[in-house]
Amino acid sequence: MPSSQSSKYVPNNEEVNLPAIGIKGWLRWTWRQLTSMRTALILLLLLAAAAIPGSVFPQRSADPNGVTSYFDANPVLAPILDKIQLFDVYTSAWFSAIYILLFTSLIGCVLPRTAAHWRALRLPPVPTPTNLKRMSAYRAVELPAKKKQHDALLAKAFAILKKQGYRVVLENPTPESGRVKASLGSVSAERGYLRETGNLIFHLSLIGVLIAVGIGGGLSYSGQRVLVEGESFVNNLAGYDSFSPGTFFNENQLVPFSVKLNKFEVDFYRDPSLKNQANAGTPTDFRAYVTTTLGSTGKQSQGRIRVNEPLAMPNANLYLTGNGYAPSITIRDAKGQIVYAGTTAFLPQDKNYTSLGVIKVTDVPKQYGIISFFYPTVGTLSSGALTSLYPDAALPLLSMNVYQGDLGINGGQPKNVFALDIKNMKQIAGGKSGVKGLRLQLGETVALPKGLGTVTFDGLKRFASLDVDYNPGGVWVLIFALLALAGVTTSLLVPRRRVWVRKTETGFELAALARGDDPILEKVITELAADLTAKPKKEKR
C-alpha cells in the first residue's frame, strides 16, 4: 500500500491482514507495558500491599498454632479466609503472581539495559551538542586576548577532566557544513558509568537472591528434637520429634552424627541489693553442653550451644530454641513392681516455668494417665491455686491429676506425647473426682488412688529443645544481598554526568548535564571554569 494511504482514518479494505500484525503487535505492546518502569512501580506497590495480610492473620509457616486457634475462634470465617490462602500469604497464588510478574518485568527491563550499557561502556562520549546553553548547567567565560591561553585551553580541559576520572574526547575544529555550525574545537567528557553498572548489579542480584531462596529452600530441612540431660539423638529421620524437609530434600543429605546433651545451664539475673525487683528471675543466659559423635569416623567432640550461638555440624546447624524441666518419676503398682519410670520433659507455661507434662501408664491391667504440673519454686495464690514464683528450682513441687480409661494409643495412631485425650477417661484424682490431687516434693513418694500403687518424684533434670537446620542457599542469599546493597549504594550515590568545554571566539563556554540526581552539578561547572582560567602556577596545588 502506498504510504500516502496509510493514515488510519482512511477506510481500509485489507483488514484481513491486520489481525496477524495485531497479535504480534499486541504481544510486543504487552511486553513493553510489562517491562516499563510504571508497571514495575505499580507491581512494587501491589507487592507491599499484598504482604500486609500476612502480618494480620496467623501464618502456617511462622505460627501454625496461631492458625489452629484462629480456626477454633472463628469456625465460620476461617475456612473462607483459608480458601483465599490468607493463612499462607507468602506462598499463595496471588502473592506469587505479583512477584513473578515483578521479576519478569525486572528481567525484561534489565537485560536490554545491560546490553545497552555494555555497548555504551565501549563507546566514546557523545559528540558535543551544538547548543550548550540548553544544558542544565551552563557558563560562558571570556578570556583575555592572550593567544597562548586560548591555544592551550582544550588540552588543559582534557587533562583536568581526565584526572577527575572522566572519559574524554578531544574534538577538532570543524567548518560549517549544512545546518551544523562551525566549531572551534571542543572537549566532550562523561563520568559515572558506575551508576548504571551499580543499578544493573542491584537488579541482577535481586534475581540471584530469588533463585538462591528458591533452590536453597528446596534443599533445606529443619528438624526439632527435645533432649533431656543425659539423652542423645541420632541425625536421621527417626531421631526427630518433628521434621520439615524442603521440596528437593533427600534423606541422604542427613550426615550421620549423634548429639548427647550432657548438661543444661541457666543463669538468672541476681541483684544482691534486692533493689531491682523488676528483673528478679530474668534469665540472662542459657547454655547446652553437648558431646557430638561423627558417624563416619567416630570422632567425639565437646560443644556448647547458646541462643545466638549455634553449633555447626556437617550439613547442619544446631540451635537452642527452648528449654524447661524434666522431672524423673517412678510409678510402682500395689505389689511394688515398677510399671513406669522415666524423665519426662514438661512444657513451660509461663515465665516462672510453671510446666505441664503428661505421663501415660500402659503396662497395667487398666490404663491410666496423669496430667501433671510442675512448679520449680512453688507458691500459693490467694485463690488457693498453686503457682510458680521463681524460675529456678528452689522449692520444686509436682501436682498430679489422674485419669483412668482408654489412652487411645492402641489404635496405632501417633499421639502427641504432651497431651492426654481425656474424652474416654474418668478422672480418679483431682478436680471433681472427690479425691484430692496428688502433690509431691522432690524425693517424696505418695499413694495413687484406687490402690493403683505409688508414685515417686525421684529427681529433676532440665531439657533443651534443639532445632537442627540446613539451608545451603543461605550463604548465596547473603552474597547476592550484599551485592545488591553494594549495587544500590553505587547507583544512588555515584553521579553520572556529561561535561563539555567548547572554545568560542572570545573565550570558552562550558556545560554539564546530569543523568539522574546530581547535587553538585553547578559546583562542578564553577570549579572547572575556575581551573581553566587559573594561572599555571596555581594549577599545581
Partner 1 sequence: MNSISLNADLAAVARLVVEAAMLIYTFAFLTFVYHLSRLANKKKSIRAAATKLERVGIILLAIAAVVHGVGVVLRGIAASRVPWANMYEFSITGSFVVVTIFLFALIIKDIRLLAAFVAGFNLLILGTADTIFWIPVKSLMPALQSYWLVIHVMVAVLATAFFNIAAALSIAYIFKTAKWVQVSKLKLVDLIRRILAVFPNEEKLERLSYRFNIIGFILWTFTLIAGAIWAERAWHRYWGWDTKEVWTFIIWTIYAGYLHANATRGWNGKRSAWLAVIGFVAILFNFTVVNLFFKGLHVYSGLK
| Binding stretches for partner 1 (CB under 8 A) | 37-38, 40-41, 44-45, 47-48, 51-52, 54-56, 58-59, 61-63, 66, 89-90, 213, 222, 267, 269-271, 275-276, 278-279, 282-286, 306-310, 317, 319, 321, 467, 469, 471, 474, 477-478, 481-482, 484-485, 488-489, 492-493, 516-517, 519
CA 383 to chain centre: 46
User: Is 255 or 339 the residue whose CB approaches partner 1 more closely?
Assistant: 255
**Lookup result for grid cell 503472581:** 97
Residue 460 near residue 266 (C-beta atoms within 8 A): no
Q: How far is the CB of 515 from partner 1 (least distance, A)?
A: 11
72 membership: H or E segment, kind and range: helix 64-73
Looking at 74-189, list the stretches that DSSP marks H as alpha helix, in order from N- to C-terminal side: 77-83, 93-121, 147-163
Q: How far is the CB of 396 from partner 1 (least distance, A)?
A: 22
**Lookup result for grid cell 501491589:** 46
Handedness of CA 113, 115, 121, 125 (dihedral sign): negative
User: Is 23 or 77 the residue whose CB approaches partner 1 more closely?
Assistant: 77
Q: Which long-range contacts (CB under 8 A, 24 or more apart) does 118-125 make?
A: 120/193, 120/196, 121/193, 124/167, 124/169, 124/188, 125/167, 125/168, 125/169, 125/188, 125/189, 125/190, 125/498
User: Is 166 or 325 the residue whose CB approaches partner 1 more closely?
Assistant: 325
Question: How many CB atoms within 10 Å of residue 228?
Answer: 19
Cα(474)–Cα(312) distance, rounded to whole angstroms?
Answer: 14
Q: Which of 357, 401, 402 is nearest to 375 (CA)?
A: 357
User: Is 202 or 346 the residue whose CB approaches partner 1 more closely?
Assistant: 202
Provide CB contacts within 8 A for 538, sequence distance 6+.
none
User: Is 273 or 296 the residue whose CB approaches partner 1 more closely?
Assistant: 273
Q: How far is the CB of 320 from partner 1 (least distance, A)?
A: 9
Q: How far is the CB of 378 from partner 1 (least distance, A)?
A: 23
Q: Record the cell numbers describing residue 95, joined without a space.
A: 502473592
User: Is 262 or 321 the residue whose CB approaches partner 1 more closely?
Assistant: 321
Q: How far apart are the first and last CA of the chain?
A: 69
Q: How far is the CB of 359 from partner 1 (least distance, A)?
A: 30
Q: How many CA atoms lie within 13 A of 234 on its CB side?
A: 7
- How wide is the angle at C-alpha 373 spanned by C-alphas 371 and 377, nearest 5°? 165
Q: How far is the CB of 93 from partner 1 (least distance, A)?
A: 17
Q: How far is the CB of 213 from partner 1 (least distance, A)?
A: 8
Q: How far is the CB of 89 from partner 1 (least distance, A)?
A: 8
Q: How far is the CB of 537 from partner 1 (least distance, A)?
A: 32
Cα(390)–Cα(413) distance, rounded to whole angstroms?
Answer: 38
User: Is 202 or 368 the residue whose CB approaches partner 1 more closely?
Assistant: 202
User: Is 216 or 430 the residue whose CB approaches partner 1 more closely?
Assistant: 216
Cα(238)–Cα(234) distance, rounded to whole angstroms?
Answer: 8
User: Is 419 or 478 the residue whose CB approaches partner 1 more closely?
Assistant: 478
